Each structure stands twice: as structure tokens, then as C-alpha cells.
Structure 1
Amino acid sequence: MQQVQNGDKVRVHYHGKLRSGETFDSSEGREPLEFTVGGGQVIPGFDQGVMGMSVGDKRTVEIDVQNAYGEKSSEMIIEFPKNQFPEDMNPEVGMQLMMNNGQGQQFPVTIAEVKEESVMLDANHPLAGQELVFDIELVEIVPASRIIMP
């Protein structure tokens, strides 16, 4: 039976949980996740977790912080002046916003603290600093397309 190798395109169902057991994402009720193993499309620990699986296999994979979204970085905390928020917006801790970096790229931030004149925005990935647990089921190893040249 074929086993997943680096470079294979695969389709998986998954259930992602924190160490506490709290679910943060799942493919339940959706199409399976399709990605190329080793292609940088998923976190490194997820790539490693599917290696060697065969279609129909189920596996629980524990992923440490370094192979997930990394540690939280203090460099990703941004102090932003309150007077630059829209007038009708009342910033509150926990609010999620999209921010523009000035070069047209948008990225999500979460309000971490509201001060008198400024707001502290956290641009770390929401799962940074967390160890993750995934229940994975390999649904398919997608065959590579064969192109015949004359």
C-alpha cells in the first residue's frame, strides 16, 4: 500500500485541538484539506505528521510550539495611536482587526490592551506559543498528473 512521501499531494480530514482539549479548527462538514507534503502550505509538524500514512489511516499527532506557529514574539506587539482609529470605533481587548503594513499587505491583529492614548495590537498568530494536537485521517494521495509529450 502506498505511503505518504515528501512531495505527495494529499487530502486529509483533521481535528485540531489545544492541549486543554479545546477545538480550534476542524474539517468536519467540509471538503478534506488538500496540500503538498513539504510544500510549506501547512505548519511543519502537520507535514511531518502525515509522512508514512496510507489511505484510510488515522493518527493523532502532537506538535510542539517550534513545529507549529512558534513562540509569541514581543516584536509583534505594536503600539498604535487611538486617534488613528475610526471615530465610531470603540477599541476593546480581544477585538480582531485587519491592519495594512503600508505596502498593500493586510494581516490580522488582536487588541491586547487599551491605554489612554494608544492601543496595544498583537500581530502574533493566535496559536503562537501553543502546543497543538491533531487527529488526522488520510483520505487520498492524489495521483500526479502525467503529461505525455510527443
Structure 2
Amino acid sequence: MPIGANKVVTLNFTLKDEQGNILDTTENAQPFSYISGQEQILPKLEEEVDSMIIGGKKHISIPAAEAYGEYNEEVVQVVGRENFPQDFLLEVGMQYIASAPDGTKMPFTITNVEGDDITIDFNHPLAGKDLEFDVELLDVRDASPEELAHGHVHGPDGHHHH
């Protein structure tokens, strides 16, 4: 029976890239919880988890196109240092969020710094990567009305914002 929408789904996972490098894991950490049907995780991952049973384990492969998309060279730009506040740390690997004129938040990563030329990349850090998830489904429960209204899972003792 599918899990369906508006459930709090709790799982342990390990995420690896196609070379087997661990990108993220709940090992030695808190399990991960999300509200199903709310686009809080990758659609393909949610589709696969939806058919699992509590206590079940599954290996899920998601190609780049169904994960964070293919890498797009057109969203890499070189901009002048003057486009950043003076106190910004401009180092390769730093991540910031730009605001588009319409208010859209656009995360980017600094990929190169040469003098006053700063290369910024608006691709998601996992764009172009095929992803491998090892998932263990720990629990499924109905989301509370408060959780649904707030759009996120609350801790066992009520409301916890991070």
C-alpha cells in the first residue's frame, strides 16, 4: 500500500555519487524526516520510498536528469568583485544566495577567483551527477495539522525550528 501524501516519513539514508563517494548520510546522526507529497525531496526518491514498508531497505539509483538536472554551462558567469559587498569572503567553494529582480532566491557557488574576476555557478552542486541512495524506512505517521500548515516536520516534543 503506498504511503501517500501528508505523512511524516522518517528514514535513514546514505547518498553516494556514481564513484561511490559519500555525499550525505544520517549515519551517526538523527534520522531524516519529511512530509510526503510536499516536494520536500527529489520526486524520483519519494516515488521509490512510497512503495516501501517500515523496516524495509532499498537501493535507489537516480540519474542526473531526474535528480538535480544536467550540468548547464550557460548558468556559469564571470562577474566583477564590485558586485559583492566588501565584507564578502570570496573563496572557491563558498556558497551564497543572489536575489533576482522578481525576488526569486538563486543559490550559487564561487568556482574561481582571479583578481577582480569572480566565477559564479548557479548549477545545483549535485547537477550532472547520478545519485545512489541506500534507504531504510523507519517510520510513517500522519502529519499533524500544525506540521501541514507550517510545511515542515516538528520534533517529538512539539515545535522545533532550526
TM-score range, shorter chain: 0.7 to 0.9
SS in 2 for 1:113: strand
1:79 maps to which residue?
78
SS in 2 for 1:137: strand
Q: 1:66-145 alignment to 2 at 5 Å?
A: 66-85=65-84, 91-92=90-91, 94-101=92-99, 107-143=106-142
How far does residue 83 in structure 1 lie from its aligned partner after superposition? 3.0
Q: Distance in 2 between matches of 1:135 and 1:42?
A: 15
State the identity as a percent: 29
* Contiguous gaps of at least 5 residues in structure 2: 146-162
SS in 2 for 1:21: coil
How far does residue 123 in structure 1 lie from its aligned partner after superposition? 1.5
SS in 2 for 1:72: coil
Would you say the 8 A contact 1:96–1:108 is kept in 2?
A: no
SS in 2 for 1:29: coil
Over residues 83-132 of structure 1, what are the superposed CA-to-partner deviations in whole Å (9 max), with x where a residue is unaligned? 3345576744x331313315666543222233454211002110011000
How far does residue 31 in structure 1 lie from its aligned partner after superposition? 2.2
* Contiguous gaps of at least 5 residues in structure 1: none
1:10 maps to which residue?
9
TM-score (norm 2): 0.74
Q: 1:13-24 alignment to 2 at 5 Å?
A: 13-24=12-23
Whether 1:59 and 2:39 are equivalent positions in the alignment is no
**Structure 1 residues 55 and 78: CA distance shift in structure 2, 3 A:** same
**Structure 1 residues 143 and 117: CA distance shift in structure 2, 3 A:** closer
Would you say the 8 A contact 1:13–1:33 is kept in 2?
A: yes
**Structure 1 residues 145 and 120: CA distance shift in structure 2, 3 A:** closer
Would you say the 8 A contact 1:19–1:132 is kept in 2?
A: yes
Would you say the 8 A contact 2:45–2:62 is kept in 1?
A: yes
Q: Distance in 2 between matches of 1:70 and 1:62?
A: 14
> RMSD of the alignment, in Å?
2.5
Would you say the 8 A contact 1:76–1:123 is kept in 2?
A: yes
